[in-house]
């Protein structure tokens, strides 16, 4: 009953006109980011964090969450109409979604995708409501050694699953941790890796690094492409037939289960969820023979799964303070910049904010359906904006975003530097995801390690003497050693530019 | 393409790409630098772990992974990654550096206007009207939208004459 009351209070806060506008703006910007091939959800969310710094914490996080799941919707539009995924999680939708477009069923594909995303996102948010209290209370029992071990598991998963080479993933992870250590040491107060520069005493700005590594490097790696002709479906063709609805329903149910389950596991990205959902359709659908030829199940399943994943991935963040994917890590950075620490204490110290954000997830999912289905023509028209104008405007927002973090030109230079680093990492095929995760988790990880060792007076066996941390450490080691056991990796992860 | 096919493609006598070797060397050097610096920071204090302990561990990971990467490359060189368009990289980076350098001197509006005109008119070969309108919206429009709409102060020129006319 307590949970229901708190959720209702959350709705009261989320339904104020200011917060509704923030949710609406977030959905709008998220859809645009998703539609634009080039700027992924990680850079998109990071790019807009500085604009929300002056807002109140509730409005700011509501808007950033809406941007986050809005990108999942937006990516579908280009997948279906252009055979070009706006973001990695929608890549698998291109197969049947675009085939449906060629058959003159683009409208039905987009509507099914939007409804599936709504269903997946809403059910996953209900899961968050149900899990928030019990997991949050469980999280309060977690001490520094367990917290450290939990982060080891999260990072191990991402390192093990990211890219083709674990060696490169470990380099990326170590690099992120090192960048996070620049500045004043949190315990002893000693400056580390500042090279005598006062500006680095506060550390390297997280947002500038992310915008540079993910956003600028993406622009720097652009190649000349052919111009595309987009034909948006008419409003009348948007409604699927009764048969298509009946065929989609079981796929949506399967997609919800797969997306929700994978969203809880750190390291699993939305693209894994949509890929596995497609696999499930190939195995369990009554019309599996039609998959790949424009079957509606090939759109309904993956699209439901990636939105269920996006919303379920917020559960470990809200309850344990562990970001499950790179975009969630960026979102966690936004929480920290607003003075909110995600994790069990979020529900004790900022209960009203936490519940308002959860309530806004329901509202945002509904707003996205209302925005996406009727306005599909508007979204596709964005793709008709000439590339030089789009690139120039994206660069403009990057500069404003980097500058406004500290109102300092220094951060613009930091962004440029990390843009070049990102370009080099892409060229060397070093995955970027472990870096962004360790960049956020680095300070928390170091603090929990040092607190643990202070409690044990320097005895490292503290991690092995406590049952929860022992189990988690063993799990982390097993995950890191999994390539030696020749465990198979899902192929989509290897192809995911974000992983 | 399957994982198997990527693994069977590299020729037996191929050499590691120069850019890959440079990357290995850079990460190895960074790891070594962090290892040495961390010792100077102090690995252990009377109170417990010192400020250098965690960086030391990361430096060790970076250095050892660089060695492993080198060994992997010597055994089975990976295909060189796609090359970026050098002209585009140079144009974007140099224009961004110039923009950042001029931001406090000329102010946001003027420096951003020049930056956008360069990208739209010279690099993007847009028509004068389209380039001018977009550059004005992105510089003057964005300045007013951020300053007065979002309460986010963008820099104004430090040159008195420009400052006086609102730039």
> Which residue in the set A54, A175, A399 is minimally distant from B152, CB to CB?
A54
**Residue recorded with tokens 């020749």:** A486
Q: Which pTM was predicted?
A: 0.82
Inspect the interface and report whether the beta carbons of A220 and B84 lie closer than 8 Å. Answer: yes
Report the share of chain B in percent with pLDDT over 90. 62
Query: Rounded to an integer, what distance in angstroms lies between the CA atom of residue B142 and that of residue B124?
Result: 21
Exposure of A289 by Cβ count < 10 A (0-12 exposed, 13-18 middle, 19+ buried)?
Answer: exposed
pLDDT of residue A304: 93
* H or E segment to which residue B48 belongs: strand B48-49
pLDDT digits (tens, 9 = 90+) for A318-328: 888 888 777 88
CB A14 within 8 A of CB A61: no
- 3-class state of residue A293 by DSSP: coil
CB neighbours of residue B121 within 10 Å? 18
Residues in chain B: 167
Residues of chain A found within 8 Å of residue B116, distances taken between Cβ atoms: 392, 396
**What does the alpha-carbon distance between residue A35 and residue A97 come to, in Å, rounded to a whole number?**
15
Query: Residue A85: what are its φ and ψ, rounded to 5°?
Result: -70, 130
Q: With residue B45 as reference, give the H or E element that holds it.
A: strand B44-45
**Residue of A396, A410, A414 for testing the chain B interface, max B β-carbons within 10 Å:** A396
In terms of Cα–Cα distance, which of A94, A1, A119, A175 is closest to A362?
Answer: A119
The two structure tokens encoding residue B64: 């050892």
pLDDT, one tens digit per residue, over B67-118 is 999 999 999 888 767 778 889 999 999 999 999 999 999 999 999 999 999 9
- How far is residue B100's CA from residue B108's CA, in Å, rounded to a whole number? 9
Q: Would you state the torsion angle of the CA atoms of residues A55, A57, A63, A67, taken in this order, to the nearest 10 degrees?
A: 120
pLDDT, position A37: 64
Is B122 near chain A, with CB under 8 Å? no
Instruction: State the best of A63, A427, A447 to mutate against chain B, taking most chain B CBs within 10 Å.
Output: A427
pLDDT along chain A (499 residues), means of 10: 83 93 91 75 81 85 88 78 71 85 83 89 89 75 84 79 81 93 84 89 88 87 57 64 89 93 77 85 86 89 90 86 82 87 82 90 88 74 78 89 89 95 92 85 85 85 89 86 59 43
Alpha-carbon span A247 to A448, nearest angstrom: 50
B157–chain A Cβ distance below 8 A for any pair: no
Map tokens 């390192």 to a residue.
Answer: A159
Instruction: Using alpha carbons, list the distances in angstroms from residue B124 to A294, A332, A356, B91, B128.
Output: 38, 37, 44, 11, 11
Q: Given this model, what pLDDT does residue A165 score?
A: 84
pLDDT given for residue B58 in this prediction? 93
Q: Which of B27, B134, B22, B68 is nearest to A394 (CA)?
A: B134
Q: Name which of A187, A114, A135, A76 is nearest A374 in CA terms.
A: A114
What is the spatial distance between Cα A238 and Cα A129, in angstroms, rounded to a whole number? 32
Q: Are A387 and B119 within 8 A, CB to CB? A: no
Decide: B124 and B131 in contact? Cβ < 8 Å: yes
Query: A372-408: string of b/e by CB count within 10 Å (b at 16+)?
Result: bbeebeebbebbeeeebbbbbbbbbbbbbbbbbbbeb
- For position A242, what pLDDT does the model report? 85
How many CB pairs below 8 A link A and B? Answer: 178
B158 inside 8 A of chain A by CB: no
Asked whether B62 and B34 are in contact (CB, 8 A), the reply is yes
3-state secondary structure (DSSP) of residue B81: coil
Question: What is the ipTM score, two decimals?
Answer: 0.90
If one compares A279 and B129, the residue with the highest pLDDT of the two is: B129
Which of B51, B134, B151 shows the shortest C-beta gap to A187?
Answer: B51
> Among residues 66-85 of chain B, which lie with CB inside 8 Å of chain A?
66, 68-69, 72, 78, 81-85
Judge contact between A259 and A273, C-beta under 8 A: yes
Neighbours of B50 (CB within 10 A): 22
The pLDDT score that the predictor gives to residue A172 is 93
pLDDT score, position B63: 96
- Distance, in Å, from the CA atom of A335 to the CA atom of A346, rounded to the nearest integer, reads 10
Tell how strand B44-45 and strand B48-49 pair up.
antiparallel
Q: Which pLDDT value is given to residue A108? A: 85
CB contact (8 A) between residue B84 and residue A427:
yes
Average pLDDT over residues B23-42: 94
Q: Which residues of chain A make contact with B37, given a CB cutoff of 8 A?
A: 193
CB contact under 8 A, A409 and B100: yes
Res. B134: pLDDT tops 70: yes
Residue A491 and residue B118: Cα distance in Å, rounded? 42
pLDDT category at B4 given cuts 50, 70, 90 is: very low
Query: What residues are paired with B48 via a beta bridge?
Result: B45
- For the four alpha carbons of B25, B26, B29 and B35, in that order, the dihedral sign comes to negative
Chain A residue numbers with beta carbons less than 8 Å from the beta carbon of B52 are: 192
Q: CB of A401 within 8 A of CB of A219?
A: no
Q: Hey, CA dihedral for A115, A116, A122, A125, is it positive or negative?
A: negative
Find the DSSP H helices in chain B. 3-7, 18-41, 53-75, 86-106, 108-117, 128-136, 142-144, 160-164
Q: How far does A92 lie from chain B, in Å, by closest CA? A: 15
Residue A54 DSSP one-character state: T
Question: Helices B53-75 and A166-180 meet at what angle, rounded to 10?
Answer: 150
Looking at residue B1, what is its pLDDT?
37
- A481: tokens are 């050693």
B residues 14-43 near A, CB within 8 Å?
19-20, 23, 27, 30-31, 34, 37, 41-42
Q: Which two tokens stand for residue B67?
A: 């060695």
CA-to-CA separations, A376 to A28, A109, A373, A381, B62, in angstroms, rounded: 12, 12, 6, 9, 47
Q: What is the DSSP string of A200-247?
A: GTT---HHHHHIIIIIIHHHHT----------PPPGGGGSPPHHHHHH
Could you tell me which chain A residue has the CA closest to the CA of B94? A416
CA distance A360 to A431: 32
Per the DSSP assignment, residues forming a β-bridge with B44 are: B49
């Amino acid at each position: 009953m307590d949970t229901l009351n708190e959720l209702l209070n959350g709705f009261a806060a989320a339904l104020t006109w200011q917060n509704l506008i923030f949710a609406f703006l977030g959905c709008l910007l998220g859809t645009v980011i998703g539609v634009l091939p080039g700027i992924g959800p990680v850079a998109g969310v990071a790019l807009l964090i500085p604009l929300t710094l002056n807002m109140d914490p509730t409005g700011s996080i509501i808007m950033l969450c809406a941007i986050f799941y809005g990108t999942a919707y937006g990516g579908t539009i280009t997948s279906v109409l252009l055979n070009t995924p706006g973001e990695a999680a929608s890549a698998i939708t291109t197969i049947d979604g675009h085939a449906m477009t060629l058959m003159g069923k683009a409208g039905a594909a987009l509507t099914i995708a939007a409804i599936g995303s709504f269903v997946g996102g809403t059910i996953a948010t209900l899961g968050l409501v149900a899990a928030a209290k019990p997991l949050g209370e469980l999280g309060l029992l977690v001490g520094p050694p367990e917290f450290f071990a939990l982060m080891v598991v999260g990072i191990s998963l991402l390192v093990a699953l990211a890219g083709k080479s674990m060696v490169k993933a470990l380099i990326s992870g170590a690099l992120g941790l090192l960048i996070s250590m620049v500045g004043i040491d949190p315990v002893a107060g000693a400056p580390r890796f500042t090279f005598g520069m006062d500006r680095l005493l506060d550390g390297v700005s997280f947002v500038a690094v992310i915008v540079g590594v993910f956003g600028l490097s993406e622009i720097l790696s652009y190649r000349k492409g052919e111009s595309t002709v987009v034909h948006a479906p008419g409003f009348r063709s948007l409604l699927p037939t009764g048969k298509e609805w009946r065929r989609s329903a079981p796929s949506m149910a399967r997609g919800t289960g797969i997306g929700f389950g994978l969203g809880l596991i750190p390291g699993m990205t939305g693209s894994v969820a949509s890929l596995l959902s497609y696999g499930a359709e190939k195995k369990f659908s009554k019309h599996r023979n039609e998959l790949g030829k424009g079957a509606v199940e090939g759109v309904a399943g993956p699209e439901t799964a990636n939105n269920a994943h996006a919303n379920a991935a917020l559960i470990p963040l809200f309850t344990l303070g562990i970001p499950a994917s790179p975009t969630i890590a960026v979102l966690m950075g936004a929480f920290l910049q607003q003075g909110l620490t995600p994790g069990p204490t979020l529900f004790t110290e900022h209960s009203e904010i936490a519940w308002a954000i959860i309530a806004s997830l329901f509202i945002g999912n509904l707003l996205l359906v209302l925005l996406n289905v009727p306005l599909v023509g508007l979204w596709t028209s964005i793709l008709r904006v000439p590339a030089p104008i789009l690139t120039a405007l994206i660069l403009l927002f990057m500069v404003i975003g980097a500058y406004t973090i500290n109102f300092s030109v220094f951060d613009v230079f930091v962004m440029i530097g990390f843009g070049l680093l990102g370009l080099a990492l892409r060229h060397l095929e070093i995955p970027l995801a472990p870096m962004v995760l360790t960049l956020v988790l680095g300070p928390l990880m170091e603090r929990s390690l040092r607190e643990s060792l202070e409690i044990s007076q320097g005895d490292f066996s503290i991690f092995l003497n406590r049952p929860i941390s022992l189990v988690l450490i063993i799990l982390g080691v097993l995950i890191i050693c999994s390539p030696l056991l020749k465990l198979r990796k899902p192929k989509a992860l290897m192809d995911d530019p974000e992983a | 393409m399957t994982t198997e096919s990527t693994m069977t493609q590299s020729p037996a006598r191929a050499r590691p790409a120069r850019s890959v070797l440079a990357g290995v060397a850079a990460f190895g050097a960074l790891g070594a630098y962090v290892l040495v610096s961390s010792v100077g920071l102090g690995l252990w204090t009377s109170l417990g772990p010192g400020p250098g302990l965690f960086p030391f561990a990361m430096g060790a990971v970076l250095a050892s992974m660089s060695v492993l990467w080198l060994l992997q490359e010597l055994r089975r060189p990976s295909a060189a990654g796609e090359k970026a368009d050098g002209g585009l990289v140079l144009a974007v980076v140099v224009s961004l550096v110039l923009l950042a350098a001029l931001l406090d001197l000329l102010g946001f509006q003027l420096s951003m206007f020049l930056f956008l005109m360069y990208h739209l008119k010279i690099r993007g070969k847009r028509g004068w009207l389209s380039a001018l309108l977009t550059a004005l919206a992105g510089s003057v429009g964005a300045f007013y939208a951020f300053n007065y709409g979002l309460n986010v102060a963008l820099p104004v020129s430090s040159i008195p004459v420009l400052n006086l006319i609102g730039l």
